[in-house]
């Protein structure tokens, strides 16, 4: 497997999500598949924990029996080709809300993020209950965000005045050819019987759009541009630690995507990791993120002081189906978007090389696949 000629080091400790299969074979064999119905019971408890390839459970905010400041709702889109990445987020996290835009320019090895923050929105953003329909909108003096979903399309339109110095940002895109399968998870977060996370991640949608930043104009063409959705609804009182990696693009002439995660809830959480080939999901067990550590880094307070984030990471799983190296190319620490108070997050864009075993046993090769990896830790 390519490693750019550099030794790949294993980090300690690793993400606890990898130690979860308990000798029971494929991940889908010991996690329940979600069935259609409301996400919550009338008493506010999660009706079912498990996974699905579409959002079969219906989220209803009115059924939650938690303080409003616990409720977390977000819509996030990522669009990229080989030259630029655009990340757009609208989130109501209870105690704080924000609209955020990030632009990554690979040719200039540069990235920039700008956010508008609103204190204590507590549901006033009115984000849609469904990831399949509705409109997410945010307006302020500087910004206008609109995500419209329906009729098989996702339409994104963003204006951000003085996004980067005197440069304004204007972005429009249409995402279509949504794949058959997504990674959908309903899970408890481990801190309270009412604390939960319901998320959907969809990869390798076709994109047609345009980016204008100052004097820069760039078009996203369907043949080589890809779009991803990260949609989530949840409730919890304390932020946990997470690791997440995602990538999408053409591989061996097929549309391919990866979502590799280890989120709050640790080994008790449902795995949200999967590979996607031509729209079909191949689920994976929890992923082991081995990130090179600095000497004495285990005692460091900040992640950037603990890890050598720009050295190659190794990603694997307990079943031996996943064997990847992530080679960082651009450090986006500080440009990863707005983070909740007390969360230390580092993110890098780069390429993935290696292989993943599909459900039928085929060993699918991954070569120079563009994506990102991030690690986050809540305040202790």
pLDDT per residue as tens digits for the range 320-329: 999 999 999 9
And the tokens for 89?
């987020």
pLDDT in tens, 192-235: 899 999 999 999 999 999 999 999 999 999 999 999 999 999 99
Count helices and strands (H / E) in the chain: 1, 24
Question: Is the domain covering 1-30+239-380 a CATH 2.40.370 domain?
Answer: yes
Cβ burial of 35 (10 Å; 0-12, 13-18, 19+) is exposed
CB 201 within 8 A of CB 248: no
| 1 pLDDT above the threshold of 60 | no
Same fold, 1-30+239-380 and 66-185+201-235: yes
| 207 neighbors 174 (Cβ within 8 angstroms) | yes
Instruction: Summarize pLDDT for 223-267 with one digit per residue, the tens.
Output: 999 999 999 999 998 877 889 999 999 999 999 999 998 765 554
Give which of 205, 212, 287 is closest to 245, Cα–Cα. 287
Please, what is the average pLDDT of the chain? 88
Judge whether residue 31 has pLDDT over 70: yes
The CATH number of 66-185+201-235 is 2.40.370
Domain boundaries, the chain: 1-30+239-380, 66-185+201-235
């Amino acid at each position: 497997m390519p490693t750019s000629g550099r030794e790949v080091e294993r980090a300690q400790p690793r993400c606890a999500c990898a130690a979860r299969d308990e000798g029971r074979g494929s991940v889908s064999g010991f996690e329940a598949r979600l069935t259609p119905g409301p996400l919550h019971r009338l008493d506010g408890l999660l009706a079912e924990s498990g996974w699905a390839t579409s959002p079969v459970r219906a989220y209803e905010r009115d059924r939650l029996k938690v303080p409003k400041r616990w409720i977390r709702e977000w819509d996030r889109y990522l669009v990229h080709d080989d030259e630029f990445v655009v990340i757009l987020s609208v989130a109501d996290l209870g105690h704080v809300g924000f609209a955020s835009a990030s632009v990554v320019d690979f040719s200039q090895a540069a990235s920039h993020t700008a956010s508008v923050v609103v204190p204590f929105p507590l549901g006033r953003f009115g984000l849609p209950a469904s990831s399949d329909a509705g409109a997410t909108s945010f307006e302020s003096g500087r910004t206008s965000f609109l995500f419209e979903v329906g009729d098989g399309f996702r339409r994104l339109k963003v204006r951000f005045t003085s996004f980067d110095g005197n440069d304004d940002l204007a972005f429009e895109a249409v995402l279509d050819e949504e794949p058959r399968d997504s990674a959908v998870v309903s899970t408890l977060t481990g801190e309270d019987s009412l604390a939960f996370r319901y998320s959907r991640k969809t990869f390798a949608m076709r994109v047609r759009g345009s980016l204008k930043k100052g004097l820069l104009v760039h078009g996203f063409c369907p043949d080589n541009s890809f779009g991803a959705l990260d949609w989530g609804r949840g409730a919890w009182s304390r932020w946990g630690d997470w690791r997440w990696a995602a990538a999408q693009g053409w591989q061996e002439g097929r549309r391919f995507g990866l979502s590799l995660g280890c989120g709050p809830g640790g080994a008790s959480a449902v795995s949200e990791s999967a590979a996607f080939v031509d729209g079909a999901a191949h689920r994976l067990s929890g992923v082991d993120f081995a990130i090179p550590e600095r000497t004495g880094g285990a005692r460091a307070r900040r992640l950037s002081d603990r890890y050598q984030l720009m050295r190659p990471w190794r990603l694997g799983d307990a079943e031996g189906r996943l064997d990847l190296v992530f080679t960082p190319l651009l450090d986006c620490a500080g440009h990863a978007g707005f983070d909740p108070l007390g969360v230390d997050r580092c993110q890098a864009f780069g390429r993935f090389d290696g292989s993943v075993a599909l459900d039928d046993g085929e060993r699918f090769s991954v070569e120079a696949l563009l994506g990102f990896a991030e690690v986050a830790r809540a305040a202790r």
